[in-house]
Structure 1
Amino acid sequence: MNEIQFESVRKAKVRLKYLLGELVLGNWYPELLVLTPRRFEQEGWPLAPEVLAEMLGDENDGAFCRKVPAENFEPGLGKYGSFLSYVPYRDVLYYVSVSGSFTEYLNKFSTKSRQNLTRSVRRFAERQQGLPSWEVYVDYETISEFYSEALRISKQTYQTKLLHAGLADSEAFLEHMKNLARNGQARGYLLRDSGRAIAFAWCRQQGDRLIYDTVGYLPEFSNLSAGTVLLYHIIEDVFSSGNYKEIDFGPGEAQYKSMFSTHRKEFVDLYLLRDTVRHRILVSAHYYLLLISGAIGRLLERYGVKKYLKAWIRRLKS
C-alpha cells in the first residue's frame, strides 16, 4: 500500500459527536475505511486520493486517515482529489518513551514535582497498612475479574455519565478484552484502598506501544490523587516489564498527559468523504458547532464561570 506501514486497516462506523461544550447533541456514524499508520513520520501519508478511491468499496462513505502530519492540512472543509476533506481540529499526542530506567525517567520531573509525586504515592501506600495498593491483570483467566471491578468504577465517573466515554458495558467488549489477554496484549490495572478498587486503567498493546486507553476513579477519592498514584505504578510497571518502547496517552490535552509524558506531537485526523450534498451539510454542521462551542467556552473561561457550569452539568447527569 504505497510502502506505508499500517497499524490497522479496517472498515467501521466512525462516530462523529455533535458537541456543545460537554453536552452531546447528536451523533453521526459514517461508514469509513479507517487507516492507522504505525508512525507519524512516514513519507507519502496520507495516500494519494486516487489510491484511496481504489481501496474503497461501494458501501463506504469515504476514508478516515489517522495521525496525519498537522502541517499538511488546516482545520475545516476542503478538497483532496475527488474527496471532500474535513479536519475538525488539530490534535496532540503525548507519550512516554520507555528507555533507560524508571529512576532516570523520574529525573525528568522538576525536584518539586518529583517530591510531590513520590509523596502522594508513599502516603497512599502507608494508608494501606501493608495491603497491596495496586494490581495488574494480564491473563485470560483473570481479565473478567478486572472488567467487573473496573466497570463498577466507570459507571460512577463523569466520563460515563456525561460524555458516554467510559468503559463499554457489553459482552462483546468483554470478549474483546479476553481475546487481547489470550494473545498477551491486555493489561488492566486497579488501585485499591483498604481492599476496595477505587481507580482503574484499561491498557492494550499495539506493536511495541502500550495504549493508555480507558481510565477512571471514584469521585470521592479525588483527594487521594487516585488517578495520579495509579499512573505512577503503571509507568513503573511498564519500565520494569521491558516489553514496550512507548506508553501512548492517546489524543487530546490533559494536565496529567503533559506532566507524565516525555514527548508531544501534533497531528490531525482526516476525514475524506464522497463529495455529496448530504456529507457537506453534515460535516459543515459539525465544524461550525465546534467553532460555536469553542467561542462560548472561551467566553465562559474569561469570566471565570466555566468550571462552575461544568460542575453543575455533571451534577445534573449524576
Structure 2
Amino acid sequence: MFVSLQADRLYERVRSVILPAEWSAFAGDIDAILALKRERNAVILAHNYQTPEIFHGVADIVGDSLALAREAMKTDADVIVVAGVHFMAETAKLLNPGRTVLIPDLRAGCSLAASITAADVRLLRQRWPGVPIVTYVNSSAAVKAESDICCTSGNARRIVESLGVPKVIMLPDEYLAQNIAAETGVEIITWAGHCEVHERFSAADVHQLRAGHPGIVVLAHPECPPEVVAEADFAGSTAAMADYVTRERPARVVLMTECSMSDNIAALNPDLEFVRPCNLCPHMKRITLPKIRRALETMRHEVTIDPAIAAAARRSVERMLAI
C-alpha cells in the first residue's frame, strides 16, 4: 500500500485511532488537499466533531464553532473552507466578510439551528417586549440578526449575567438554557430546540457507565439534558472538555458528546482510556475528504449572506465578543 511521505508524517498523529489500511485510502485526497490549499491560499477550519483524518490530517485551525471563525480572522488566507455545518460557515463569513467561504456540502445542516426561524424570534419579541434575546451561536445568521446578543456554550452564563436583568429569552437550545438557569438567578424563557446528538443522552446512561467502568470520569456538554449534566463530573463546551482531559488526565474518561470528539482527543492522549457511548452527528459526517478536495477544486459551495442580515447578525456577535 502506497502512502506519500507527507501523509506518512501526518499519520503519526492518528496512529492510535486510524488503522494503516484506512489511512492508505485517505492519503491521495490528503495530498491533493494540501496542494490545493497552497494553490488557492486557503485554510481549512475543522470543528471538533470532524473525523480524525480531517481534524488531524488537513485542518489548519481546529476547535469549536466561534473559535474557528475568530482564528480565521488572524490568517492572510483568501479562501476559508469550513469542515463543519452551515451555521458555522455563516459565522465564518460574518467575521471574515472579505474572504471567500466555502462549505463542502450544502446539506450539512443542524437540527438545533433548524428549530427556529427569524419570524419565530420576532414573535417572541412581540410576546415579551423589552426582554433581551440571547441567541446561541449554533443558529442561522437570520436568527442572530433578530437577536440582541449571542453566546456560546462556554460563555452563556457570563453573557446572561452581564445583562443585569431579571429575565431573558435564550434561544434556541432548551437544555443549554435550562442548565444556565440552574447556575444563575435569572429567569430564562426557553425555546424547545435540541441538538439531536446531545438530546439522546440520559441519566441512565451515566449510571450504566459508572456501574460498568468503576472510577470513570464523566464529561457532559451543556446541550445535554439537565439530568445528564447533574450526574456528570464536569460539564462544559467542547473546548472546555478537551482542556479538562489535557489538564486533569483522567485514566478512564467518557465524553457525552459527538463520537469524533473523543477520537480527536484520544489521538492526542493515547495513554488514556476513552469509553465511547457517543452519538454521531449525521450532518457533520456529510463533510468528507473527497468533498473538501472537490470544494477546493471547484470553489463550491460559496456561502453568502444578505448584507442587511449580515450587518445585524454581526452586531449580535460583536456585542458578545465585547463582554
TM-score, scaled to structure 2 = 0.24
**Which one has the largest radius of gyration?**
1
Structure with greater strand share of residues = 1
More helix by share: 2
Q: Which has the higher contact order (CA 8 A, sep 6+)?
A: 1
Q: TM-score, normalised by structure 1?
A: 0.24
